[in-house]
Structure formats: C-alpha cells, structure tokens
Chains A and B, each alone.
Chain A
C-alpha cells in the first residue's frame, strides 16, 4: 500500500474550493500564524517592538538566516542536509575581508586592491567551491550528506581561523584612492529606507521561487528528493542535481557572509557558528520534510522570519539568553511535531475519522476533511 494519501487533502482543497476548512488552513499556514502570534505577543509586551524601524532592524537579521535557509531548502528538498553553511558563511566573510585588505603579489612586488564587485564574485566562487566539494563527495563518492558536510563544517572553520590567525578584519571600508569602496552596500546601507540585506534576500527568494516552480531544474530537485531511482530512470541527471544544490547552498552561504560582514563592518573567523542549525530550523518550521521532496520558498521564508522575530523579540523584552535558547528550541520541536501531523498523521486521521462517521449516507465527500484536520488544527493553534 502506498502512503501518500495525505497530499490528496491539499490538492483536493485547491480543486474543490467548496470544502473549505479553517483547521486545515491553520495547519498549512502555521508558520504564518505563528509569525502573527509572535508579533502580537511581543507588541503587547514591549512598546518598542511594533515600529517600522524595529521591523527593519529585525528583518536585516532575518536576511542572514533567510539566505542560509533558502540554500538549505534546496538541499533538503533533494533529501540531503548541509551542515557546513555556518562555517562557509564565516569563511566567506574572512575571505572578503582578506581581499579588501589588498592582495600582495610578492614576486611582482605589488599590492592589488580588487574592487568590491570582484570581491563579491570571488567570494561567491569560494562558496560555490565549498558546495561543490560537498556535492561531489555526496553524489559521486556516496559519502552520507550528514558526514560530508560535517567534515566541511570543520575544514571551512579551520581555514577561516588559519587565514586570520583567529583575528578579525575591521577595516572593510576600502578607500576611494584604491577604488575599492562600496562594501557598505552589501548589507549595512539602506536603499529607499530598506536595509540592502533585506533586498538581497528578496531577490534571492524571487529567483528561488522561479527556480523551483517554473524551471526543469526545480522539477528535478523535487523528484530527486521524492524518489531518486525513479527520477534517474525518467532522465533526471540526479547526480548533477545533487552537486548543484550544494553549490547553490554554498553560494547562498557566501552571500550571507558578505551581507553579515557588511552589516557588522567587520569580518571575524567565528562568524556564523551554529547558524546551520538555525537555517535547518527555518526550513523545517516552513513545512519542508527532512526526507525530501516537500517544501517551498514561501514557507522557508516564513520559517526564517519566525525564528528571527522570536529571538529578537526575546532580546527586546529582556529575557535572559538562556531562556531564549529554550524558547527557540521549543518552537522548533513544535514545528516538527506539526510536520509529522501533516505528513503522516493525516493518513491515520483519515482512516479513523472515516470509521467514526458511520452515518448511513455514503456521500463521504465532506465528512472527512473537517475530522481529518481536527487534531492538527488544535496543535496548530497552540503555536
């Protein structure tokens, strides 16, 4: 027996708008409702929370997690995981900082100061390289994703520390004479009042939406995560897809590294430690399944906002950082709980709810949906 009937609910909901069900809406939009709940609660608890300037500040924090989460989403959709993004972020920041200090070619006796756009390209290239190593190890050498990216987590962090001897680059401003100003434009500055980091996140998200929903590559990603063997026999270049998603994840991490060091106007080798976990949490809260094949950009963005707005809110109302950790963890668990209700619970729900409705009328068309969402709905309102 195959067990994918749960999807049917969503699909049917779309097809037959008639059997609209508030509980299912709550479950499916849980990340959205969680975000609203977080905003309402913190606005009540603190007068400064609900203000444009605070939202913009929080959003620029979210930008970092959001970028990492979007890359992570692609990887998770193929059924993989990328633990190296936090370290790649740190390495990318340090590498950019290193380039901004000028590269000296000792043989020629000159110091070369690359302009910011070159720095951006080289840094993204470095992120892509880290991702490519991950991808090749996983797709061609069959190293389990968890292990390969765990290894790269250590290697990338180690290289970042080696490059700076553990120190931080503070001078990222460049100077007009050297023609390398403009690093501020990667995250620190604002455009039309909006932090550049947020705009970059929005741009990456739009590309992500198009990529997943409207390109062959997107279809390949979903099918690889859903059933790699079947995908391969249908002509999907499964191995190339696997390498590419890690490359994209690496580039996203590099962009996040650039944005973060621009925001902080400094690049330290320990930046981004444990961010990979936050990124995974964002994807999971956004409704993706860690087993692959299910998830989307919209959910992941919401997930990143939930995490970001929650942790900043806790800081603003002055909760101790120990409690912040506890709260964040609880939210993640709740999200995964809801995922399992959506992806497997519905099946059981469907079976048992049909058993209960022993009404003589055989038209069970609408009976099932309200009942099937019931537990799910209750759980949904808790978050």
Chain B
C-alpha cells in the first residue's frame, strides 16, 4: 500500500498520454495543424481556446471518435492508434462530449450502462445496474431515480447523467469537453469535488471550458489552442486569468457595461401573473405568478439556479405553451393566445437554451438555418428570392461572426460555439422588438460572448430593442444588464440595479444555502 503511494507520488505529473504533431483537416478546413499536447498523470490539464480553435476535434482524436490526418498518439511511451471509441476505452480513455449523446427515450440507468450492460445469469442484471447508477448519482449529489427517462430531465441533469456515464467506466484518462455548460454553480462545485477525488485516485483528466475562472480553480496545467495550433503552455502556478485571455484572443475582453445616454421607452413587454405548472409534480408550479415588465431599450438579466423556472418562463412567454394563468402583453396588446409564429411576426423572439433540440435543423445547411425564421423577408409573392436570401444570410454571418466555410456548409461542421451563434443569428434576423435569450452564452468563447453582448446593447441603444436574457453566471449579469432579476422556485426572489454585487445576487438566488 505504502509502496504504491510512493510510486504514485513519483508518477504524479509525468506525461501519460501525448499527441505528437497531430493535424486534422475536414476538406478545406484545417481544424488542427501539427498540435502537440500532453496529459499529465493524476492531474488536470485544461485546454483553452476560442470557438472553432479545434479543442473538441483534438479531444475526439484522443478518444478514438476521429482519426488524425497525420501525427501520432503516444500512450505511456508506446505509439497507439484508436480506430474507435471502444478501442480507446480499452486503453482506459473515455470522453464526455460537448454535445450530449444520450438516448432521450431510455432511463438514466440504461443510458449510463448503454453498450456496457452488466450481464448476470438471467440476462442483464438490472438490479446491479440500478444500484451502481444510484451510487454514482449520489456521488454527484443529484439523487435522480435511475429509472427516470432522460427526456424528463432538464439540461443540467442530463449533463450530470453524461458525467455519471463517463465515471462508470473507471477510466485512467477522462476527457471532459465543456462538462459544465449547463450546470449551476453548486453543481459545478460537486463536479470539482469529484474531479479532485479522481485525481487522488490517479486518474488523469483533460478539461475544456469557456468558464475561465471556474476552470482555473481546478486545473494544474493550461494549454491554449488558437486556430488549430498550440500557442501557449504553462503550469497553473505561473498563470492567471489575464494570461489565458491574452493568449486566447490576443487582447483583453470586457463583457461591456449597460448602454447609456438614451431615454428608455415605454414598457414593451409586460408579463402579468404568469403561472406554469410542473408537469411531473401536480400542484407545484415551476413558474409561480410571475410579473415583470421590460421597457424599450432596457436590458434585463434573469439570474437563477438551474430549475429556478427561467427556461419555463421564457418559453411560455415565447408561446411554447404550458401557461395556465396570467397574461403576456406586447406593446399593450394581449398576445397570450397567439401562436409562436404570430409572436415572432409581432417582434417577440426566443433564443432557446438547448441548441441541438430546439435551435438547429441538422439536415439543413448553415444558410437555411439562419434564414428559417425570416423567410417572409425574402419572399416575393409566392416564391422566395435567392438573391435576397443570400443577403439576409450574409448579413447574419457577419453580424454574429460565424466561423464557417460558407452558407452551404452543414450545421454539423461548425464548432459548438458557432452553432450557438447560428441560433442567435437566426432569431436576430427577424428584426425583433423584444428578444428573449435563454443562456445565450452557453458554449461560446469569451470573445464571442463579448460580441453577442455588444450586439444586444447596440440593439438596445440604437433601436430600442428590449432584451431579456437568462444566465447562471453572475459575471454575465453584471455586464450589460440595466436590471437584474433573481429567480428562485418560480418566483422573483430579488431585483437589483446594475450596481449590485456578486454576493448579493448569489445570496438572493439561494445559492449560498445550497452550496
């Protein structure tokens, strides 16, 4: 036992897995150009980089999802090549994907053990699987019943199931590609506790996140990728946030401040007593008699933990249904009975939280996705005009800075963050008066986040756009928002002006209590 501990001590920090001169091209897109990357034994190596820098691509290569165009992978001194994820798993490498890869119709248990079912004497040993799943979920502080179908879980919980699945493999090297993009601060804390635990058991981790501060608290080594090249490496002790941002984007980005110097208009959006019942718990409401009014040119941030009812509120206001009481007024007109299409027509749009499920049409090209919500703008008589559509699409691509091969590229060829920008660009192309954004910064890098916020604050200042966005990152609330509304258990727990402090906001959301 003692001997083991000593050898472990020695090995700590040694390179266990390394990528040598890895290049990867997709047609004309050179996603990776001769990248070297090391994974250290029993430590966390974090990969930083802008959207489309090639982070996910590199991780997919290390975990056998894709094969490199050139270069080699060295595992404990031996060159290896993985033709599939199963082969990589046999070598002890597993990955948590950026985009969730769960089967929504199956239960939590079946998802955790998908492809690796525990077979007992009389077929699959469901009891044992349930037992292990329950243990894993408890370890992750999310005691969901193993038999709950995954589609009934909210996004954050699904992400936790994805994490549980990766943990259940007991791998030596665990890659996490943006595991926290849908998690609340307290859930992130739990994950970090698990990561520390894994480290102490000698598991080596690779971590990717756009939440830079958060990532810094857990990492031992930082690597920055930029345009498919590794541009910087440093051990944790030598770096700070500023170093990362500088190496990632070349300059320091500020998320901005509330736009000023103009008069706000009258209330454009008024929500009065909106109530949405909880589908799974009768008698409980996820949105409980909420009222909120937003003026033209005003930016409101809704802060809250996962499950506070933000998504349900925004979806019901946008017309997704579920509302049993209350009214939604747009320019004083009651729009509660209108369809989603009619609300978009009147200038109220929603950028949904889950881009895979609610935002993108995977069979359509980038251009067709971008123009989907504004077809009317390029229809003359009965037919659509291709010239005008190109125009609409071209504008969107440049307005939200989408990094793509062109409008004809497929959605799947974009990096996660760029997919998110497509969803935002699509809704902005309808020239809305009121825009609701549910976690708009999910998976986008700091530069892009600043761009999106700049776009919103310009819209507010110049066109009197009313903006409501939700977030679970306090820092984002304290950027461009004029007003911060904290939601907890379906109600408004507190309201602050732009001068609030992080602590005030977090305390009001009930975060302090949970954590």
A residues engaging B (CB < 8 A)?
Answer: 1-8, 11-12, 14-16, 19, 210, 214-216, 219-220, 222-223, 225-227, 229-237, 289, 292-294, 351-352, 354-365, 367-369
Contacts and interface: CB of A to CB of B under 8 A. Distances in A.
Contacts of B69: 354, 357-359, 362, 364, 367
Contact of B409 (A11, A231, A236, A369): A11
B298 interface: no
B98 A8 contact: no
B293 interface: no
B463 interface: no
Contacts of B297: none
13 contacts: A4-B412, A5-B410, A6-B410, A7-B363, A12-B405, A15-B408, A19-B27, A216-B375, A225-B363, A226-B361, A237-B341, A293-B363, A364-B26
A214 B383 contact: yes
B345 interface: yes
A354 B344 CA distance: 44
B372 A365 contact: no
A8 B406 contact: no
B405 A219 contact: no
Given A219-B384, A230-B358, A363-B25, 12 more contacts: A4-B411, A8-B409, A8-B410, A12-B405, A222-B364, A225-B363, A226-B362, A227-B360, A230-B360, A233-B352, A351-B66, A364-B25
Interface stretch (B28-36, B216-224, B439-447, B452-460): B28-36
Interface residues of B, number: 64
Given A12-B28, A233-B358, A235-B373, A223 B364 contact: yes
B148 interface: no
Contacts of A351: 65-67
B33 to A, nearest CB: 6
A328 B362 CA distance: 32
A213 to B, nearest CB: 9
A230 B83 CA distance: 34
A216 B383 CA distance: 7
Contacts of B101: 1
A234 B377 CA distance: 14
Contact of A235 (B345, B359, B410): B345
A236 B430 CA distance: 13
A210 B384 CA distance: 10
A2 B66 contact: no
Contacts of B97: 1
Nearest to A234: B373
Contact of A5 (B26, B352, B358, B426): B26
Interface string B32-64: 011000000000000000000000100010000
Contacts of B363: 4, 7, 222, 225-227, 289, 292-294
A362 B31 CA distance: 10
Contact of B341 (A214, A223, A236, A362): A236
B411 A2 contact: yes
B107 to A, nearest CB: 22
B70 A361 contact: yes
B413 interface: yes
B226 to A, nearest CB: 16
Nearest to A4: B412
Given A230-B361, A364-B24, A2 B412 contact: yes
A11 to B, nearest CB: 4
B356 A2 contact: yes
Interface in B344-383: 344-345, 350, 352, 356-365, 368, 371-373, 375-376, 379, 382-383
A354 B68 contact: yes
Contact of A229 (B56, B345, B357): B357
A226 B426 CA distance: 16
B23 interface: yes
A207 to B, nearest CB: 11
B365 A7 contact: yes
A234 B372 contact: yes
A90 B299 CA distance: 61
A362 B26 contact: no
Interface of B: 23-28, 30, 33-34, 56, 60, 65-70, 81, 83, 97-99, 101, 318, 320, 339-341, 344-345, 350, 352, 356-365, 368, 371-373, 375-376, 379, 382-384, 405-406, 408-413, 419, 426-427, 430
The 4 A-B pairs with the shortest beta carbon distances in the complex, nearest first, are A355-B67, A4-B412, A364-B25, A293-B363
B179 to A, nearest CB: 14
Nearest to B352: A233
Contact of B361 (A216, A231, A355, A361): A231
Nearest to A361: B70
Contacts of A358: 68-70
B358, B410, B419, B430, most chain A CB atoms within 10 A = B410
Contact of B410 (A11, A229, A236, A357): A11
A159 B475 CA distance: 67
A223 B25 contact: no
A8 B27 contact: yes
A235 B358 contact: no
Given A233-B358, A362-B33, A4 B368 contact: no
A227, A357, A361, most chain B CB atoms within 10 A = A227
A64 B40 CA distance: 67
Contact of A16 (B28, B34, B56, B430): B28
B68 A355 contact: yes
Contacts of B413: 4-5, 8
A19 B26 CA distance: 13
Contacts of B412: 2-5, 7-8
Contacts of A236: 341, 372
Given A219-B368, A364-B23, A227 B66 contact: no
A206 to B, nearest CB: 13
Given A5-B26, A8-B413, A362-B23, A216 B405 contact: no
A210 B383 contact: yes
A216 B375 CA distance: 6
B376 A216 contact: yes
Contacts of A364: 23-27, 30, 69
A6 B340 CA distance: 32
Nearest to A237: B341
Nearest to B60: A1
Contacts of B427: 234
B99 A1 contact: yes
B469 to A, nearest CB: 16
Nearest to A14: B408
Nearest to A228: B361
Given A1-B98, A4-B411, A8-B27, A362 B34 contact: yes
Contact of B318 (A220, A233, A294): A233
